[in-house]
Structure 1
Amino acid sequence: MQAKRRVFEQLPLLRERRALAYSAALLLCAVAWWIRWTLDPAFPPGFPYLTFFPAVIISSFLFGRGPGTLSAVVCGLLAWYFFIPPVHSFQVEARTLVALGFYAGVVAVDVALVDAMQRANERSSRLAAEQRQLAERTELLFRELQHRVSNNIQMVGAMLSLQQRQVTDPVARTILTDASTKLQLIGRIQRQLYSTTGEQVPLDVFLKDLMADLFAAEHRPGIVHRIEAVSGIRLSPDAAIPLALIMAEGIANAMEHGFVDRDAGEIVVTLTHDDQIIQLCVIDDGAGLPPDFDLHRSDSLGLKLVRSLAMRMDAQLSVEAAPSSGTILRLSLPESACQA
């Protein structure tokens, strides 16, 4: 279909070489006359235009209205002189006028229809080109907007990071450091949430890229990581961004607490979709939870943020011990509350 469309977009041919286009139309008239002359003994009387109509249509189709009109006039004169009695003359009789009138009406309609089709095709091609240019500009503007938003968020995080160096109070330094880290993470999430075409990236691809980005920043090659996610899930940005933040917080807690004295381990992120529930799990095989751990009483800023995000999404959040060793952070949210 694309090849056919490109061929039709090139019609009429020889737009910049009109003399050659008119010459080609005259050649088609000559070919039509030769075929009609050669087959004349096989034709019954009364078919003077049989081979001339195709010549007119082909000339109009290939070379445009002007060559088609010239072909119609020349073919009409050839048919009149050679094949309309009395032959070899331009004598005008009543039946000659009827035949010529019929011919003129048919070729006028043919040329007009072909010309209208080509003009419509030109308009369609022009509109398609304008739409392509508009799509390219829109894509460029969207990428620039995403880039600027992400950069601005990360710049605020960097400014907070600079400010915390001047703060002597350890609690305040910790708060500013966490805030700076979260802002820079949000900037990365914002950059990765959409493709270059402006479409939202499927959640499995988005989380996989984000997870690779997080581990690249940690520089802990001994910690193996993988993600197991069903494909095709798309969430609204209001749900996708908090979910990504919760995943990132789960990974950060595993790295900071679960593998604090270990150089090797494994973190697995799973994303499932079952019974209209989307469930995210961050599973590690680290040191596990302290005996007195209570998610709802924890003073950790990261866990407070995770609880707040889960509550805002109307999701169920739990942090529990893994069956063998390690920790599972589990987020369950209803599909109806987060579809894009």
Structure 2
Amino acid sequence: MLGLVLLGLFLRFAVDRGLPSGFPYVTFFPAVILSSFLFGVRWGSVAAVLSGLCAWYFFIPPPDSFALERSGAVALGFYCFVVVTDILLVHWMQRANANLARERETSRALAETRELLFRELQHRVSNNLQVAAGLLALQKRRLHDDSARLALDEASRRLALIGRISRQLYDAGGATRSMREFLEPLCADVVEASGRQNIRCTITVAEDAPLTPDAAVPLALIVAEAVSNAVEHGFRNRDGGTIEVLLARDETAMVKVEVTDDGEGLPDGFSIEASNSLGLRIAVMLAEQLGGRFDLLGGKGTTARLTLPA
């Protein structure tokens, strides 16, 4: 602070001959402002007092004295007004910056807490779904009716699947994800859950699309059902095979998700409407809920096609 005042005094002597009369404080204003900004209001006030005394003694007539004429009193009053204004402005600016920094730190801490609580909630939901699936599996052992055992087995499998993928369904900030980012781990989870070692699942993306959180669960269940059917029925009598998931847009700009396997294919005369498969009926219902359509196509292997509005 003292160095800035001395620097202002030195510069004022250096430019004294080139300045017209009436500018005794011209080099001291920067010293006061810098002192306030760097060292705070208290030291800025000290710098203002020292600078005012130096200008008064050396540059306000009569020079080299503290005698004060009327014109000098006016100049001194103007100096006091300017430096007080400068110091207050610097103080308010620093206080605003400090408040902003505190608010940013509070926002960062709240964001971290929200993400932590969100992930903890996801973890608990996933665990609860796994527990529910396990309870259904235990209950199935007490039943002797084959249809009831099959229904509990289907429900247990779907709950276990949702429990495995629930951690990736939503983002803590509510952001949308691309369908490829969602489908790759989903298909890997379904194949891994089947326990089959020689089944390869590939994802081919011709054109990606954003996926909103509300559409994530229905899409997950539909694609998981298609992949599970390929594993369970398409490769029933084979050690392994290939499942390809294609994501593209058709000629009407609809988003198309196709799950194609190289397995045994559909039996003759098969139709979803006539099928008694609960999983397929759920897939059709969920597709309609999303405003789309779910179909099974025969040929070499089987293709499950989900068409959704963009």
Within-5 A mapping of 1:19-98:
25-98=1-74
Mapping of residues 92-131 of structure 1, within 5 Å: 92-131=68-107
Cα deviation digits, residues 288-330 of structure 1 (max 9, x gap) = 11113121111122222222323333422211113xx101111
Aligned residue type for 1:306: A
Letter of the structure 2 residue corresponding to residue 126 of structure 1: R
The number of residues matched between the two structures is 308
Please state if 1:306 is matched with 2:283.
Answer: yes
Determine the C-alpha separation between the residues in 1 that align with 2:200 and 2:134.
Answer: 29
Matched, 1:215 2:191: yes
User: Shift of residue 198 of structure 1?
Assistant: 4.4
Give distance in 1, aligned partners of 2:212 and 2:88.
Answer: 53
Could you give the per-residue CA deviations for residues 43-70 of structure 1, whole angstroms, max 9, x where no partner exists? Answer: 3333211210110010111111111111
User: Paired residue for 1:233?
Assistant: 210
Letter in 1 for 2:132: V
1:260 to 227, 236, 258: 236
- 3-state SS in 2 of match to 1:296: coil
Contact persistence 2:62–2:68 (CA under 8 A): no
Within-5 A mapping of 1:241-280: 241-274=217-250, 275-280=252-257
Secondary structure of the equivalent of 1:41?
coil
2:147 — aligned with what?
171
Question: Secondary structure of the equivalent of 1:272?
Answer: strand
Which residue of 278, 302, 305 corresponds with 1:330? Answer: 305
Matches of 2:74 and 2:249 in 1, distance apart? 77
Say which SS state the counterpart of residue 17 (structure 2) adopts: helix
- Counterparts of 2:83 and 2:191 in 1: how far apart (Å)? 74
Instruction: Encode CA deviations 1:86-137: one digit per residue, 9 max, x unaligned.
Output: 1111001101101101111111111111111111111111111111111111
- CA drift of 1:280 comes to 1.5
Would you say the 8 A contact 1:203–1:235 is kept in 2? no
CA apart distance, 1:200: 4.0
Is the CA contact (8 Å cut-off) linking 2:36 and 2:45 kept in structure 1?
Answer: yes
Paired residue secondary structure (1:87): coil
Q: CA deviation at 1:279?
A: 1.8
SS of 1:319's equivalent? strand
User: Is 2:264 aligned against 1:287?
Assistant: yes
How far off is 1:236 after superposition? 4.4
Q: Distance in 1 between matches of 2:85 and 2:287?
A: 70
Structure 1 residue 253: deviation in Å?
A: 0.8
Amino acid at match of 1:115: H
- Any gaps of 5 or more consecutive residues in structure 1? 1-24, 336-340
Deviation by residue 1:164-199 (Cα, 9 ceiling, x = unmatched): 122222222221111100111122332211235443
Which residue, out of 165, 185, 197, partners 1:189?
165
> Residue 242 of structure 2 contacts residue 261 of structure 2 at CA under 8 Å; is this kept in 1?
yes
- Is the partner of 2:306 in helix, strand or coil? strand
Paired-residue identity, %: 48
Equivalent of residue 137 in structure 2, options 161, 170, 174:
161
Report the secondary structure of 1:261's partner residue.
coil
Say which SS state the counterpart of residue 47 (structure 1) adopts.
Answer: coil
Return the TM-score normalized by structure 1.
Answer: 0.85
Structure 2 unaligned runs (5+)? Answer: none
What SS is found at the alignment partner of 2:297?
strand
User: Match for 1:92: what amino acid?
Assistant: L
TM-score normalized by the length of structure 2: 0.93
What CA RMSD, in Å, does the superposition of the two structures yield over aligned residues?
A: 1.8
Say which of 138, 154, 157 aligns to 2:114: 138
**AA aligned opposite 1:235:** T
Cα deviation code 1:255-295 (max 9, x no counterpart) = 11111122232111122245352222111111111113121
